[in-house]
Amino acid sequence: MVFEKELQDLEKRRAQALEMGGKKKIDKQHSKGRFSARERIQGLLDPDSFLEVGMFNHSDVPGMEDRTPADSKIGGYGTIDGRTVAILSNDFSVLAATSSRVAGRKEGELKQLAAHYGYPVIYLGEAGGARMPDIMGSRGLASFGGGGFDTYLQIMSRVRETPMITAVMGECYGMPTWMACLSDFVVQVKGSAMGVSGPRILELALGESVTDEELGGCEIHGKITGMADRIAETEDDCFSIIRQFMGYMPQHNGEAPPCRENFDVSEDSDNLLEILPDKRNRAYDMHRILNAVFDHESLFPIKPDFGKNVITALARIKGDGVGVIANQPFVNAGAMDTDGIDKVISFLCLCDSFNIPLVFFHDTPGFLVGKAAERNRVAARVMNYMNALGLITVPKISVIVRKTYGMAFWNMAGSGCGVNFIVAWPTAEMSFVSPEIAANVVFGGKIPATERDKKAWEKLVQQMVDDASPYGAAGMHYIHDVIDPRETRNYISRALKISQGARNKGIGEHRLANWPTKF
């Protein structure tokens, strides 16, 4: 056969690349309940859709060629539900997938070309930090900049043009952490960890002894830092979560999110009046309201364990994708703290960048204030939130379910905040502070001592409750309507169609595309 020698050499080289770090190291991955880098790609993408680039890459350090198949990073293109994505998978079986010059160029090129072509980027992370001794010395350090005067910036910064997703699937230090910080959506698998430097470096450099879990496990990033948007039980669960998220995303910022033609209505859609408590101060779970309004089982929470006094979620209404921001009365009566504010700002950036309309559900007594809040810069965060809200160009629809007091009213897309439609349920209360607090102020902060004072206080509270009725705002055209709660689903659907307009079809201006979303 013509060129038989050359073809045999090609197949030999392919086989060596596909072996990755060898059977022993791959078996070690499996013993931890983890897939290999190539198995992860196969598990996430549509069958037989992966087109690899850089299979024959290797380290540029002399003598390391045979020890570094694909230079520890496997990349290319494939499809998820028939839609093309760019994908990178760290190969921990090759020198712990440490970062290197050749692999860095491959990663940077894929990331940049994905933005150019209009494809989402998926980064499957499990890696140590920079490879040593490659990065040591002046030549080694400077070489990691990519070779040009702006190449490192291109790799390590981002203006959101296509969605970027990172999965934290093992020990992720250095590059995977930076990629997670640049990403729009981060899934962390239980048992994994993420941080700037790993426990070994910390112990050698600082004498600090800490485990991977203590440093950056799921409890840390799911509940405390908010760096992880979702926590996955297993790697297969992680793939499922990524596919679900991708189902809400356009491939790039020049198109609308995908619409589902087939959808079901929740059994609770006609029972909204039974979900909302008849007592105005009684707590309830806002998830029940949302599940009743939006398409059955379409609510996809973002950061569910972080800033739990506010809900951020993707959802569908009659098949159309939306972003949902809702106060959660079940936690702190729905008073948003600084974690909640950061969570919302991050979500605003996601939705504005990818043409996802926003629907707000109000039930909040205001922001959580006090000494701790001030030390967490609550005032600055509230105004950052307001500034982000003011830059949004996707449609905004606001529904006032129950209480909405003070500055939180405007931060939840109240009157005068560029909202396309704002309506209230007849159960709504709109005022500067709660009637009880206002009455206490009027009484000089003193507890009514006599029966006469108690009755006067109760009368004043009731008067303020009546004044907080939404009909006052509706009468002056500060809100558009007061609706029957059972009409909410249809109202939002119609308002969305109108708000998306005939000119731009809901494609926004993406003014938040380079706003940092990690905090």
First-last CA distance in the chain:
61
pLDDT for 79-95, tens place per residue? 999 999 999 999 999 99
Integer Cα distance of 274 and 277 in angstroms: 7
What pTM did the predictor assign? 0.92
* Residue the block writes with tokens 């009743």: 292
Q: How many whole angstroms separate alpha carbon 61 and alpha carbon 39?
A: 28
Token representation of residue 421: 């439609």
For the cut 90, the answer to whether the pLDDT of residue 247 exceeds it is yes
Pull the structure tokens for residue 398.
């606001």
Question: 302 with 229: CB under 8 angstroms?
Answer: yes
The pLDDT of residue 436 is: 64
The structure tokens listed for 275 are: 């979900």
Residue 483 dihedral angles phi and psi, to the nearest 5°: -120, 155
Residue 446 has pLDDT above 80, yes or no: no
Among the listed residues 409, 413, 424, 400, the one whose alpha carbon sits nearest the alpha carbon of residue 474: 424
For 38, other C-beta atoms within 10 Å of its C-beta total 20
Of 221 and 446, more confident: 221
Residue 85's nearest CA partner among 189, 3, 200, 165 is: 165
Band of residue 447 on the pLDDT scale cut at 50, 70, 90? low
pLDDT digit string, tens, across residues 370-387: 888 899 899 999 999 999
Mean model confidence pLDDT for the chain: 91
pLDDT at position 210, please?
Answer: 78
| CA dist list (Å): 390 to 321, 355, 362, 377 | 22, 15, 18, 20
Higher pLDDT, 404 or 263: 404
Q: How confident is the model at residue 289 (pLDDT cuts 50, 70, 90)?
A: very high
Binning pLDDT at 50, 70 and 90, where does residue 425 land? very high
Task: For tokens 């979900």, name the residue.
Answer: 275
Q: For 99-233, where are the E strands, in sequence order? A: 121-127, 164-173, 185-189, 193-195, 230-232
Is the per-residue pLDDT at 339 higher than 70? Answer: yes
User: Which is the CATH superfamily of the domain at 267-428+469-500?
Assistant: 2-enoyl-CoA Hydratase; Chain A, domain 1 (3.90.226.10)
Cα separation, 111 vs 372, in Å, equals 40
Comparison of pLDDT for 454 and 137, the residue scoring more: 137
Please, what CATH class does the domain formed by 35-248 belong to?
alpha beta
What local confidence, expressed as pLDDT, does residue 432 receive? 77
| Residue 509: pLDDT over 90 | yes
